[in-house]
Chain A
Amino acid sequence: DQQVKQNSPSLSVQEGRISILNCDYTNSMFDYFLWYKKYPAEGPTFLISISSIKDKNEDGRFTVFLNKSAKHLSLHIVPSQPGDSAVYFCAALADSNYQLIWGAGTKLIIKP
């Protein structure tokens, strides 16, 4: 039972363009969502988060959008840079819990 789904295993984007990574969830009790970035042989690094009371959160080149009715969130990176090439994980948290529930990740490749 996969509560957090990232349906695209990989995504290739031209440098300078916008990268859009998608995430769907099934549990309506989730009220906090996080994006993590992971390089090979390293642990995940926190990137950006959003509370369910908001529909958008922006931090520099990174913006996360949340559509609660569709149970969908997306991470926008603009402009994309070579250093953005990594695996991006979407994770969710319910207020009554502390277990991060993770998607399977999307490998982002930025082409020069």
Chain B
Amino acid sequence: NAGVMQNPRHLVRRRGQEARLRCSPMKGHSHVYWYRQLPEEGLKFMVYLQKENIIDESGMPKERFSAEFPKEGPSILRIQQVVRGDSAAYFCASSPRQNPSSYEQYFGPGTRLTVT
């Protein structure tokens, strides 16, 4: 059973470009969470999605950021017109069903975004 997959592992973008981060949850998991980690800090919740639905995007900036989890294919976190402050590690996690019935979230290896 493959774990959570994220790609790319490293992404370099110039200011103003778009960044697309992909996440394939574990098999059988239909709940996906995106977190951002800035240097020397803990992870910060961004968005929680189920298939074709955004459940909670309260942690995601209103501008330039969007997320989707289509019926087929991976979840996508998109950042438009990137700025240097977007440089961070972005982690995706999945769980088999909605917390709190399953508290543990399983994490992918992360995508390290660098904006130059």
Contact = CB atoms under 8 A, between A and B. Distances in A.
B18 interface: no
Interface in B87-113: 91, 93, 98-100, 103-110
A8 to B, nearest CB: 13
A55 B22 CA distance: 39
A100 B108 contact: no
B109 A41 contact: yes
A43 B44 contact: no
Interface residues of B, number: 27
Main secondary structure of the interface of B (DSSP, over half): loop
Interface residues of A, number: 26
A48 B105 CA distance: 12
Interface in B9-37: 33, 35
B109 A43 contact: yes
B54 interface: no
Lowest 4 A-B CB distances belong to which pairs?
A102-B42, A43-B107, A98-B99, A99-B45
